[in-house]
Amino acid sequence: MGNQVVILVGTFVLIITGLLLGYVLSQLVLQTLTFNFLTILGTISLIIIFSTLYYVLFWQLKREPSPIQPGKINKPVDEGDPENTSNYLKNRLIARLSGDVAAAERLIEQAKQNFPGMAENWYCEKVLDELDQNQP
């Protein structure tokens, strides 16, 4: 909720500042506004405000985590290390089961009995997929 408020307020202020900046620049071009130190200072401050808000707003958007889509497994950064992947998948399974480690182990063992000879990661993925399919 906090990020959305920052984005909404930032967007509103960015639009107002952009409109003011556009107006001042157009009046300077049309020569209806005198070109003096105060006008230059105001224009520069509007450009700084506009640029800062633009940067902060899109930095905030980039920081916002993307939602996890059901049915898709988010892989860890280092997919080459099977141990890290296995730990990641087990932790994800345990989190999916609200921290019930024993239930996660039972489900993995049951998958090993039903489908022998597969990699450890495969069993975790299989259990996670089955849990996603059984979700209402």
Say if 33 falls within a structural domain: yes
Backbone angles phi, psi at 62, to 5 degrees: -70, -35
Q: Is the pTM of this model over 0.85?
A: no
Task: Answer yes or no: is 71 within a domain.
Answer: no
User: 13-38: per-residue pLDDT in tens?
Assistant: 778 877 888 888 888 888 887 778 88
Tokens for 32? 């209806």
- The verdict on 8 and 56 lying in the same domain is yes
Overall number of domains in the chain:
2
Whether 51 is in a domain gets the answer yes
Residue 54 lies in a domain: yes
pLDDT of 73-132, one tens digit each?
444 444 555 566 778 888 888 888 888 889 889 999 999 999 888 888 888 888 988 888
Q: Are residues 9 and 50 in the same domain?
A: yes
